[in-house]
Amino acid sequence: MNWGDWTPQENVILSIREVLQEALIPDNEIQKNVQQKLNLIQNISDFTYYLLFIISNPNYSEEIRSLSGILLKNNINSVYDSISQEHLSRIRQECLRLLQDPCKDIRISISNVLVMLAKDNLPAWPELIPFLMNSFDASNEFSEIALNTLFKICEELIRNNKADDEIYGVTRKVFPKLNEMLSQEKCTFHHDIIRLVNQFLQEYFMIVKQSLDLGLYLRNVMKHADSDDIEMQKQVSLTFVLYLDNRDESLLPHLHEVILYLLAKTQHKDSEVALQACEFWFTATKLTNCKELLTPYMEKLLPILLKNMKYSDYELSALKDCLGNDSNEKDQSKDIYRYQNKDAGDDECYSDDEDNFNEDVDDCYIGWTLRKCSAASLDGIAVRFRDELLPLLVPYLNEILSHQDYYIKESAILALGAVAEGCMLGLKPFLPYLTNYLINSMNDEHSVIRVITCWTLGRYVGWIINSDPSPHSFFIPVMTVLLKHFVDDNKRVQRAAISAFCIFQETAQCKLIPYIDLILEGFEQGFQRFQYRSLYLLYDAIGALAQSVGNQLSKPEYINKLMPHLMHKFSQCDNYSDDNFIAVLECLSNIIPALEVSFLPYSEMVYWHCLSIITDTIRSSVNYSENPSEYDLPDKEPMNVAHDVLYSMALGLKSHFVKYVMNSNLVCLLYTTMMESMALIRQTSIALYGELIMLCFPYLSGTVSEYIPILIKNLDDKYEGVCNNASWALGKLGSVMGSSIQPYVADILIPFVNILRTPNMNRPMFQTVALSFCIICYVCTDLNVPDIEFILKNCCMLIRNVKDSEEKDLAFRGLCKAVVSNPTFCKDNFMYFCDAVASWNSMRADLKDNIKAILASFKQQCGEENWAVFYQQCPEPLRLRLVSLYGI
């Protein structure tokens, strides 16, 4: 259709107008009919043009025209791909004209159309930005909508994560003009300009820096620092934070003035202004020159931070339902939901990253607040200042730790915990007194005191556990008081006590062994009294105990205290996706390796349950893929955890696990789950298959040719955990198959070599690939490896950091074989081989003789004079190791 030839049909116009007129009537029945009619008339091929015709016609009412604008946006969005470039250009031109319509509602609706048209392909509409800039530069009645349209377009750029060059193209044109407007007193958009620029500074600081004179912009922003407008004060403070976070030098000449401003704003009666200002101190603690920056202001800053660490009215209002004795009240659904979105240790305090805080305040987990930001800032300051902070801090703490206002006392205990990491050394002389103070505070009548005391005790567990040879001084009293408050009358205290006890266990490790019985008694009381959230944390505590004491937990008297409760919870639920059931499964996966064969009485029930979960999930996935309209996509988390449990059973039960494997279709199921789209499932599925290789390879040998290609396909370093397990499994196959793996080696080496070309020496996945590569070198002959010298050098650097083990033994045999087979490696890289073989502490005699022979052969080939030169180039610790281990 030619736009120029297009004329509206009167009957169609009348029909559309009638529908629009009815749409303005606030009646539910009429609105239902309107929607049905709209669905029909939208099928008119030139509906877009009818809407434009109505909007453009001043003879229609403003309400009808405005509603047409709303429909136009939705219509164009739905048929955009079918509009020719010629017609699209005409639509754009008409919309630009309508942006200057006398009716404000029309301008607003057309503004939204322009934003929609621009968001997907702004570079294809080069005249839009200049048009908008010219419009708001005219300072007429249309300037406001032009500027707002421009703001929306810029925000869409960020929201849609556009490419840097597109961002730069817009900011280069727009931001200098905005900066100019910011300096003009008559401009009424100062706040909007600063807010928009801040959005870009947060996401694209360096691009904005190329587009804008940041020094001039900062000076213009500072002109608005004295504004009484709350939102303006927040935006100005945010600008200062962004400049500091990006270490922009243009802040330096104004730093003193900025800091004084933010000291004042951190005390503002509006908590949001104070929080935004406080972000500056939190940001400053991340800078290497933090101490130099803040030292002149610490006497003023420290009391402000301490004062702001008291609970606000806002926080207390959010906590009002959980401050008293609520342990007998059932957890609400929101309590269960909240647990799923947070880490156990973050229940009441702060995090180093505010993004970890949920903004929903229906529960006691109330998000990032001034209190938390102040505590995080104090923590960071303590880490930077260390014990030099104490002369300033201790007088304040002495005063407020015994304050009559228990909320102030609570903030002092929070502060004491906040400085633990940075000031531990200087606080040591006071810690016996402070620890006893905290133990006594656990009996405080106010739950907020008990909650924060748990957290602060957790911050000092390193000293508490190791400070005194006698466990009766602090170890047992702290352990006992935390266990006691597992069954506190307040659920927040319960959770805080369990979280602190998890940290206690992880730090104490084998020192817990004499007290396992006492700990399990505490756990038993928890099973009897806990509800959802506390129960979830108890499962974490059980797992932490198992990891700390290992197979010491497998004694019959301990099994009888622990397992009946866990298995009761396990058998209570038949819904795989129930969060409580998943939590029990995760707990089992953590403790089974420690229980070892003591888990056998429970193993059959758990095994078949896990197999059912995997089978049912696979079946549901197939049903969904074949008929998505009839079936729902299954929740795959239960299947993931089921793999974890089976893997733990393989680790813990060893040969006892094989009977289950041989009498079930587990291996067939793994064939499917090793190709699962969810990386976590592939990761654990492959780990389980690798463990089966070690336990029952004869049973797997007949089908191994079907599984090796799947393992090779999973050698993708973008999925580090999956790649690690796949390479480990292939290494295990190499060790059990020997030269029989030769037909697959060419395909295995391609991803191995690609990964080993650019390894990260500190990441375990690369070490695993290097180990498996060397094992393949050992069991196979005539390997064709591109850049073999370079690959072997990287292998030497990677496997030197591996602890002595069977895998390391086999890998070094392969490394020795490869080095002997590639004599050119020794010319430039022999130092790396020497460094690698010096990493052993204890090795088998035949491997030691093999390495010694290679060293001696290299020395002989060099000749005494060249060897002496080479030997002197070796670092002294390496020379000492070579002499000690090999007499070289």
The torsion of the CA quartet 200, 204, 210, 215, rounded to 10 degrees, works out to 60
Q: CB of 50 within 8 A of CB of 13?
A: yes
Q: What is the pLDDT of residues 466-489, one digit of tens each?
A: 988 889 999 999 999 999 999 999
Span of 75-79, 108-112, 375-379, 585-589 with lowest mean pLDDT: 75-79
Three-state SS for 289? coil
How many domains, in total, are found in the chain? Answer: 1
**What number is the average pLDDT over the span 48-70?**
85
Nearest to 239 by CA among 203, 185, 194, 176: 194
* Cα 106 off chain centre by: 44
**CA–CA dist 395, 393 (Å, integer):** 6
Q: CB of 188 within 8 A of CB of 143?
A: no
Q: What is the pLDDT of residue 703?
A: 95
Q: What is the pLDDT of residue 345?
A: 33
Give the whole-number percent of the chain exceeding pLDDT 90: 59
Q: What is the pLDDT of residue 350?
A: 42
DSSP secondary structure letter of residue 635: P
Nearest to 518 by CA among 501, 531, 506, 495: 501
Per DSSP, the residues of 67-131 read: HHHHHHHHHHHHHGGGS-HHHHHHHHHHHHHHTT-S-HHHHHHHHHHHHHHHHS-GGG-TTHHHH
Where in the sequence is the domain holding 833, given as residue range(s)? Answer: 747-888
Q: What is the pLDDT of residues 677-724, one digit of tens each?
A: 999 999 999 999 999 999 999 999 999 999 999 999 999 989 999 999
Q: Which of 42-51, 67-76, 91-100, 304-313 has the highest mean pLDDT?
A: 304-313
762 domain residue, yes or no: yes
Residue 722 tokens read as 């999956």
Direct distance between the N- and C-terminal alpha carbons of the chain, in angstroms, rounded to an integer: 89
Q: What is the pLDDT of residue 331?
A: 67
754 domain residue, yes or no: yes
For residue 551, the one-letter residue type is N
738 domain residue, yes or no: no
Q: Which of 627-631, 811-815, 866-870 has the highest mean pLDDT?
A: 811-815
Residue 284 tokens read as 């400053």
873 domain residue, yes or no: yes
Q: CB of 425 within 8 A of CB of 386?
A: yes
**What number is the average pLDDT over the span 163-187?**
84
User: In the predicted model, is pLDDT for residue 358 greater than 50?
Assistant: no
User: In the predicted model, is pLDDT for residue 813 greater than 70?
Assistant: yes
User: In the predicted model, is pLDDT for residue 342 greater than 80?
Assistant: no
Q: What is the pLDDT of residues 138-150, one digit of tens each?
A: 666 788 888 888 8
DSSP secondary structure letter of residue 267: T
User: In the predicted model, is pLDDT for residue 73 greater than 60?
Assistant: yes
766 domain residue, yes or no: yes
**What number is the average pLDDT over the span 228-241?**
96
| 170 or 430, higher pLDDT | 430
Per DSSP, the residues of 432-455 read: HHHHHHHHHHTT-SSHHHHHHHHH
Q: What is the pLDDT of residue 137?
A: 67
Q: Going by C-beta distance under 8 Å and a sequence separation of 6 or more, which residues neighbour residue 822?
A: 788, 789, 792
* Residue pointed to by tokens 């019959």: 556
User: In the predicted model, is pLDDT for residue 352 greater than 50?
Assistant: no
With vertex at residue 644, the alpha carbon angle to CA 638 and CA 649, rounded to the nearest 5 degrees, is: 125
Length of the chain: 888
Query: 440, exposed or middle or buried, with CB in 10 Å at 0-12, 13-18, 19+?
Result: exposed
**CA–CA dist 119, 110 (Å, integer):** 14
User: In the predicted model, is pLDDT for residue 351 greater than 70?
Assistant: no
- What pTM was computed for the model? 0.83
Query: 186, exposed or middle or buried, with CB in 10 Å at 0-12, 13-18, 19+?
Result: exposed
Which long-range CB contacts under 8 A does 69-74 form with residues at least 24 apart? 69/98, 69/105, 69/106, 69/108, 69/109, 69/110, 69/112, 69/113, 70/109, 70/112, 71/20, 71/38, 72/48, 72/109, 72/113, 73/109, 73/112, 73/113, 73/116
Q: CB of 160 within 8 A of CB of 152?
A: no
Q: What is the pLDDT of residues 846-867, one digit of tens each?
A: 999 999 999 999 888 888 888 8
**CA–CA dist 222, 216 (Å, integer):** 10
**CA–CA dist 780, 574 (Å, integer):** 49
Q: Going by C-beta distance under 8 Å and a sequence separation of 6 or more, which residues neighbour residue 307?
A: 267, 411
Q: What is the pLDDT of residues 736-772, one digit of tens each?
A: 999 999 999 999 999 999 999 988 877 899 999 999 9
Q: What is the pLDDT of residue 40?
A: 76
Query: 23, exposed or middle or buried, with CB in 10 Å at 0-12, 13-18, 19+?
Result: buried
When pLDDT is cut at 50, 70 and 90, the band that residue 661 belongs to is very high
**CA–CA dist 703, 682 (Å, integer):** 19
When pLDDT is cut at 50, 70 and 90, the band that residue 335 belongs to is low
Q: CB of 156 within 8 A of CB of 167?
A: no
**CA–CA dist 245, 241 (Å, integer):** 6
282 domain residue, yes or no: no
Q: CB of 235 within 8 A of CB of 217?
A: no
Strands (E), 348-395: none
**What number is the average pLDDT over the span 371-385?**
96
For residue 165, the one-letter residue type is D
User: In the predicted model, is pLDDT for residue 498 greater than 90?
Assistant: yes
When pLDDT is cut at 50, 70 and 90, the band that residue 1 belongs to is very low
752 domain residue, yes or no: yes
733 domain residue, yes or no: no
Q: What is the pLDDT of residues 568-586, one digit of tens each?
A: 999 887 777 788 889 999 9
Q: CB of 577 within 8 A of CB of 638?
A: yes
Q: What is the pLDDT of residue 5?
A: 67
For residue 623, the one-letter residue type is N
Q: What is the pLDDT of residues 254-298, one digit of tens each?
A: 999 999 999 999 999 999 999 999 999 999 999 999 999 999 999
Which long-range CB contacts under 8 A does 391-400 form with residues at least 24 apart? 392/298, 392/299, 392/302, 393/302, 393/419, 393/423, 396/302, 396/303, 396/306, 400/306
When pLDDT is cut at 50, 70 and 90, the band that residue 339 belongs to is very low
Q: What is the pLDDT of residue 806?
A: 92
When pLDDT is cut at 50, 70 and 90, the band that residue 312 belongs to is very high
